[in-house]
Amino acid sequence: MTALGSFTSGQVLTAQDLNEIGTWQDFTPNWSGLTEGNAPTTIYKYLKLNEIVFVKLYLQFGSTTAITGSVTFEPPVASDNYFSEFSQGNVLCEDNTGTDYWGTLFRLNSTTSTVRVYNSSTTYLSSTDLSSTVPFTWNTNDKLSIEMWYRTTV
């Protein structure tokens, strides 16, 4: 398919071209600080529309899934690296007891994002790195969900 944004006047678009616009693709993130272990349930998808990339990650912990340090991962497409300090998505940590904890993502550079949760223990809301005990002690069937968006170069 001709890349979005590069169609030319008079060009004929096929049904396949139109169907490929907005098609979600599978990918495998390269995690740091998180070991998937055996038999987790995962859904890792992304969609690129011109310069905007949307990413969805879902991980339900298996019996040996573990968080071993601050959690970072590599999104499927490098970002343009503008505004790297700003939030670029939402994080939901679900304890298997039914308690939810919200967080955010920050870009460390054009190829790495860090996962953080909100911390309300101070006067002002802040964020802190995930760990084996933050925001709770992670166990089988706990869930980590991430939705993010960012700009990339074409």
What's the rounded mean pLDDT across residues 71-86? 79
The DSSP string of 31-75 is: EEEEE--SS-EEEEEEEEETTEEEEEEEEE--TT-EEEEEEEEE-
CATH classification number, 26-151, choose in 2.60.90, 1.10.3470, 2.120.10, 3.30.1460: 2.60.90
User: What are 67's strand-pairing partners?
Assistant: 34
Q: What is the pTM of this model?
A: 0.86
Q: Looking at the predicted structure, is the pLDDT value of residue 83 above 60?
A: no
Token representation of residue 8 = 């030319």
CA distances from 50 to 25, 47, 128, 150 (A): 15, 10, 32, 11
Query: Which comes out higher in pLDDT, residue 71 or 48?
Result: 71
Q: Where are the domains of the chain?
A: 26-151
H-helix or E-strand containing 15?
helix 15-20
